[in-house]
Structures are given as C-alpha cells and as structure tokens.
Homo-oligomer: A and B are copies of this chain.
Amino acid sequence: MPGNTFGKAFRITTFGESHGTAVGVIVDGCPAGLELLESDIQKELDRRRPGQSGITTSRGEQDRARILSGVFEGKTTGTPIAMIVYNRDVDSSPYIELKNRPRPGHADLTYFMKYGHVDWRGGGRASGRETVGRVAAGAVARKLLFSRLGVEILGHVVEVHGIKAGGVLIDDIRKNVEKSSVRCADMAAARKIEDEILRAKKDGDSLGGMAEVIAINVPGGLGEPVFDKLDADIAKAMMSVGAVKGVEIGAGFGVAGKTGMENNDPFVMESGEVKTVTNNSGGILGGISNGMPVVVRAAVKPTPSIAMEQKTVDLERMEDVTIKVKGRHDPCILPRVLPVLESMLALVLADHAIRGGFIGKY
C-alpha cells in the first residue's frame, strides 16, 4: 500500500520529483462553493519558494501554480482540485557523481533499498521540492478554515542552532514573521539567527532549529478518538515532513519534569464559555480540541546537504569513500519549511473539521 495520500475527508495526493517534469497535488474533498483563485495558492507558494533571500538556495524556480480542475467561475465545485507546478530550473549535473554514493542524512540509501530503481536527480521524490504540493493544498485548507470557521494558522521560527527566540505574542508573529528573512518573530533573535546562518553557509555547513505553529479560533470538538486523535494526526503530519525529527504539543517534553498539579490546566467560566487558565495541553484533551489555541512545535534537522567532506560508501564498489555534496542548498531550511509546517497543520484541521461535521458540503 502506497503512502502519497494524506487525510480522509479533506484528502490530498501529491506527485512529482525534484528534477522531473512537474510537481503537484490533487485535493479531494474540498466542499463546493469556496472562492478560490490561483493567486490564493501563489501567495503561499511564494513563501516556500527558493531564492527568496541570501540564506536560501539559489535554484531559480518561479513556482507558478496552475489549477487544472475543480474550480468553476472562481469557486470550488466539490470535485477534485488538481494543481500543478512545472519544474523550470533543473540542473542535475552535480548529482551524477553521487549516483552510487549515498549522501549521509539523505534518503538516497533507503530509497535504493526500498525501490531498487530510483530517480536520483536532486533527491528525486525525497527532495523538499515535493512539499510544493503540500503548500498548494495547504493554501486551500487555510482558505476553507478561515472562511468557514475563522481559524487562523500562524508559524514562527523559535530556535536555530541553540539561539532561542524570546516569548512573543500572537500579534508579534502576525507583524514580524514576514519581515524577517529567517521568519523569527523576536527581531533581536532574528538578527542573531541570520548571522549564525550566514556563518554556517560560509563554512559549508548547515544548522538545525525549531519551529512553532499555532492555530487560533479552532472550535472545540475536533478529533476522532482513539487513534485519529487531533494530536496524533498532527504528529504524523509534522513528522511526515522530511526534516522533522520531533513533535510536541503544548507543554510537550516539558511534561517530563512536571507534577499533575502543575500540568493540569484549570477550567474557568469566561463570558459563558469554558476556558483553561493555562494551556499546557496545547488546546487538545483526549485527542479532541477544547477551543484554546492549538500549539505545536517541531524539531527540524540541519540540511543534510553540506559542502564539507563526509564519509560514505560506494554501493557499486562496496567500499568506503568520502564525498562533498555540491548543488544548490539552504544552509538552514527553517524559514522555508515553516510554510510547509503551517500547511500540514491546516490540512489536519480541515480534515477534522469536515470529519466532525464542522464544515458542511457547501
């Protein structure tokens, strides 16, 4: 059973390789009647696309999205929405010499183990370029969530190579993130992070970090116990992004040091609604949203493509060798992976909003 489909009620299937003809996605299950333009998609793709600043890869893709189906007279029809982005700036030459020499930290070896015949150009299907489809679909999910339920999805980079952002308010995220080339809402930390990334780039190395994504105005009641819990599906969504190695909700790993009295969020009545005083649960109890903000953090590993010399093996000659990975890469993927993580959160919420009957057919 293949694995290129995500979601059950709002369901996406992505396709495409980094150096193939095109990448794209089919969104199946978007209700009819949603206003949707190609510019809605493009806006989010532009946040993900390469070449935005000095700290991203120099691959020059415009990433123009085209909607092929499912939209008529500017509105969705309830039928599958196919979206496509043709690959334009492909240069496979740096990969030829790596063909039999799996890059450490990459999927080269494991794709070979699994499939035998692999499109090795630019990472093929395992490339981050695959996330173009996710972001295009995420743009539809975000529009749906906002227009029907007022749900807003926000994201910011909270740590890079040990440099941590200070506490920020929702409004700081709204205001600052797009001003910062590293998408950190704490402007002082943002400057330090940018310097750190440029230093790593100069060294031919790369940096890991952490991102936080938040959904506000999520209605209480989303999530399907006992396996398709809202947090379980969020964890899967985040971890399905290539670079992510850890996911936490609310207090997350912090719970390991807490007592029940410290960690339980007391309930209070607030203008006729039940709220929690704190939000250690990250807006989810028993796998179901409780109306408080859904707060998720993901650990993002340093880009495995680095210009430094690394040990690997030659699969043909069956011997140890060293390589340097050329090509065009991001010294820190955090700023560009952020829209992907936001998209994944949007996709999970849209899926559960429909599953739970919060968004109707039209």
Contact = CB atoms under 8 A, between A and B. Distances in A.
Contacts of A236: 227, 232-233, 235-236, 239
A220 B2 contact: no
A278 to B, nearest CB: 10
A62 B63 CA distance: 29
A39 interface: no
A308 interface: yes
B80 A15 contact: yes
Nearest to A243: B255
Given A9-B2, A267-B102, A21 B68 contact: yes
Given A69-B21, A225-B4, A253 B264 contact: no
A255 B117 contact: no
Contact of A1 (B3, B67, B224): B224
Q: How many copies does the complex hold?
A: 4
Nearest to A359: B357
A186 interface: no
A313 B263 contact: no
Interface in A202-237: 205-210, 220-221, 223-229, 231-237
B299 A256 contact: yes
10 contacts: A13-B13, A13-B80, A17-B77, A110-B286, A207-B258, A208-B259, A231-B239, A235-B238, A252-B299, A258-B301
Interface stretch (A50-58, A146-154, A314-322): A314-322
Nearest to A222: B114
A341 interface: no
A68 B288 contact: no
Contacts of A303: 260
A245 B286 CA distance: 11
Given A2-B28, A225-B3, A226-B125, A162 B269 contact: no
Contact of A285 (B107, B257, B266, B318): B107
Nearest to A240: B232
A208 to B, nearest CB: 4
A181 to B, nearest CB: 19
